[in-house]
Amino acid sequence: MAICKDCHQDKPDSEVQLGICDHCFKFGPPKAQTLQSTAGMSSGPQGKTPIWVERDVGVVLTTSIDVPQRKIERIISIVAAETALGMNIFRDIANNWRDFVGGRANTSEHALKDARTACLQRLKDEAAAIGADAVIAVNLNYSELSTAGNGILFVAASGTAVKLAPQDAI
């Protein structure tokens, strides 16, 4: 068993790479999540297994330079988030087969969607951590690094974190 540096949970060695478990790698560190104890469950030591539950941080993301029907009170900072998703050899084989016979590469589409979703969630978490209500002018960038037998998909998102004026102040 190995301990994840982000969530501090014991995980099987196969789920921890470079000190970070697969869940934290995909969904980000636990600062954006709430630790809940599932007392009474028998799957953990003494019947208590800590689990991470995603929480909605309520941050609005938009590619536009404003939030419709809301006034921007002040700009807080530029925020950014990155996600790296390893493409395993089975996905690569399936994609190579699709390249050969034609058609849509569903495995790549799912990987892109997973990476984008995780990256945008991390962007919301970064904005919430500094007290922002919204991130405007969001920009997404995709990149891929091919290694021997595997590939890594990188998604980066950035934008301007802002504080919105109360709705009654419009």
> pLDDT-derived band of residue 45, with 50, 70 and 90 as boundaries?
very low
pTM: 0.60
**What are the domain boundaries of the chain?**
1-55, 56-170
> Do the Cβ atoms of 83 and 140 come closer than 8 Å?
no
Q: Give me the residue label for tokens 């996600």.
A: 83
Instruction: Report yes or no: 136 and 62 within 8 Å, Cβ to Cβ.
Output: yes
pLDDT of residue 28: 66
Using CA atoms, how far apart are residues 162 and 74, in angstroms rounded to an integer?
6
Return the CATH architecture of domain 56-170: 2-Layer Sandwich (3.30)
Q: Which pLDDT tens digit goes with each residue over 106-136? A: 667 777 888 899 999 999 999 999 999 999 9
